[in-house]
Amino acid sequence: MKVVINTCYGGFSLSPLACKRYLELQGRECYFFNSNYSTNEYKEITLEEANKAYIFHVFDIKNPTDKSVKDHYFYCGSLERHDPILIQVVEELGEESWGDYSKLSIVEIPDDIEYTIEEYDGNEWVAELHRTWS
């Protein structure tokens, strides 16, 4: 089984191009936005502007509202790291799939392993899931 991890300090994230490609492979639209936190309003931006933005938001609808955020917001951090579409995007785009402060890598593990992703300061590795007590 292939698993995507971040192999540098910073944390797992996808580039705007990778987000767009992921949603495209799912048959969904992709729109980028900046938000005004004081008014909770979203302003649509281009892919190029999202590439330059420190923070951007991704939706699969053109006019997000507070009510639609739950169902239409795309957050790459919630993806299963063995998701076949995620694997395809990282393989297709290579370095262009990397978000800010990330360096994505694909690790191959045996199919029958229950795994978890562990990290230190965003630098990740795959570990076999086992029991722990405290």
- Block residue for tokens 């169902």: 71
pLDDT of residue 59: 95
* 122: helix, strand or coil: coil
Each domain of the chain, given as residue ranges in start order, spans: 2-128
> Beta partners for 124?
119
Write out pLDDT tens, residues 48-94: 999 999 889 999 999 888 788 889 999 999 999 999 999 999 999 99
Evaluate if pTM is beyond 0.85.
yes
In the chain, the amino acid numbered 20 is K
- Work out the average pLDDT over 44-48: 96
Secondary structure element (H or E) that encloses residue 117, with its range: strand 115-120
Total length of the chain:
134
Return the structure tokens found at 87: 């694997």
